[in-house]
Structure formats: structure tokens, C-alpha cells
């Protein structure tokens, strides 16, 4: 089985990551691609709530719970799971969009909302491009090497999707 194309969407809080990821999911799905999303949450989160059976199971001490219906499956584990393991588990999808996990090694699009956010472009590894709210002159300083980076505006969803589709095609094994 071919490995999925993985692209990270990274940036500081309120930079537009979730908005971009949702737009890309919609466009990639319209192109007939099966898309999965993995989101990093730096804070603790709750998926089940008082009154649900899964909440009662967890309150009773279950370390993992799976909820399965004819159309969906949810797994809640009382442990952190590595990005590598999640990508392995999502191996049946064509595209995996990863929101966050800045320090991981996958190709990244960096969201830049404010000029000071541009520091991430140079601090992170495997940056493929920049998605900016600002004009290019406010993002890049003179003399900074940037020829290898693709550049998009925050609303360039069609162009970003086209770029991703080219990346997927270029990574396809030759017949």
C-alpha cells in the first residue's frame, strides 16, 4: 500500500490553521481524495461528557474505550500517542493533514499572521512553504534565502490544494 502524503500546517495560536485545514479537507475531498486530520492540542481535552456511557466507563477506571457504530469509530485512550503512530494508524488515507506538532519532520506550511510570526519559517525543519496574512515584504527580510519556499496568501485555498496535488503526484511511485 502506498504511504499517504503528509503535510503539517503549523503556526502560532489564532494564525488560521484550523480554517485552512478545513478548507483543504473540503477541496481535497472534492478532488476525490480520502483525507484524515491529526490535530495537536497543547491543552488537555475531553471528548465525552457526564451522562454518557463512555464517561461512566472512564470514571470507573477504563484506560481505553472504543465507541463503534455502523458509520464511525472513536477511540479514547488515557495516554499520549506519537504522531508517527497516528500516521501509521491512518495509513489507508491518501492525504493526512497535521495541524500542529511543529517539531516533527514532515513537510510544513507555516502560517504567518503577524510579521513576528515569520521567525517560525527559519526555526522549524522541513518548511516547504508559507501561508501569510501579510504582503511578502513584511514576511521576508532582505537577504534571507527563500527561493525554495512556496508562498500563498491565507485565502489561496485553490492554489494550496493544487500544490498539494502536485506533491502527491510527484511522490507517486513510477509504474
105-135: pLDDT as tens digits? 999 999 999 999 999 998 999 999 999 999 8
pLDDT at 173: 58
For the stretch 15-72, pLDDT in tens is 999 999 999 999 999 999 999 999 998 666 666 778 888 888 988 989 999 889 999 8
Q: Are 139 and 11 in contact (CB under 8 A)?
A: no
Is the pLDDT reported for residue 103 higher than 80?
yes
C-alpha cell at 82: 506519537
Give the model's confidence band at 93: pLDDT under 50 very low, under 70 low, under 90 confident, else very high.
very high
Instruction: Indicate whether this model's pTM tops 0.85.
Output: yes
Element (H, E) at 108: strand 108-112
pLDDT at 45: 64
How far apart, in whole angstroms, are the C-alpha atoms of residue 51 and residue 56? 7
Q: Give the 3-state secondary structure of residue 44.
A: coil
C-alpha cell at 16: 488560521
Give the model's confidence band at 102: pLDDT under 50 very low, under 70 low, under 90 confident, else very high.
very high
Q: Are 110 and 120 in contact (CB under 8 A)?
A: yes
pLDDT at 174: 47
DSSP secondary structure letter of residue 125 = S
Could you give the angle at the alpha carbon of 171 between the alpha carbons of 169 and 175, nearest 5°?
A: 80
Q: Which residues pair with 97 in a beta bridge?
A: 7, 37
Structural domains for the chain: 5-44+80-171 (3.40.50.300)
pLDDT at 12: 95
Amino acid at each position: 500500500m502506498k504511504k499517504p502524503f503528509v503535510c503539517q500546517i503549523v503556526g502560532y495560536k489564532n494564525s488560521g490553521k484550523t480554517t485552512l485545514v478545513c478548507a483543504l479537507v473540503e477541496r481535497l475531498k472534492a478532488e476525490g481524495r480520502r483525507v484524515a486530520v491529526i490535530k495537536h492540542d497543547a491543552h488537555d481535552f475531553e471528548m465525552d461528557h457526564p451522562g454518557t456511557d463512555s464517561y461512566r466507563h472512564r470514571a470507573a477506571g477504563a484506560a481505553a474505550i472504543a465507541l463503534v457504530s455502523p458509520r464511525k469509530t472513536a477511540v479514547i485512550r488515557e495516554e499520549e500517542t506519537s504522531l508517527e503512530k497516528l500516521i501509521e494508524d491512518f495509513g489507508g488515507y491518501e492525504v493526512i493533514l497535521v495541524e500542529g506538532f511543529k517539531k516533527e519532520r514532515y513537510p510544513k506550511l507555516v502560517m504567518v499572521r503577524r510579521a513576528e510570526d515569520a521567525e517560525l519559517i527559519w526555526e522549524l525543519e522541513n518548511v516547504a512553504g508559507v501561508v501569510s496574512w501579510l504582503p511578502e515584504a513584511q514576511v521576508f527580510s532582505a537577504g534571507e534565502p527563500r527561493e525554495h519556499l512556496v508562498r500563498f496568501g491565507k485565502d489561496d485555498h485553490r492554489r494550496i490544494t493544487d500544490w498539494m496535488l502536485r506533491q502527491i503526484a510527484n511522490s507517486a511511485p513510477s509504474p
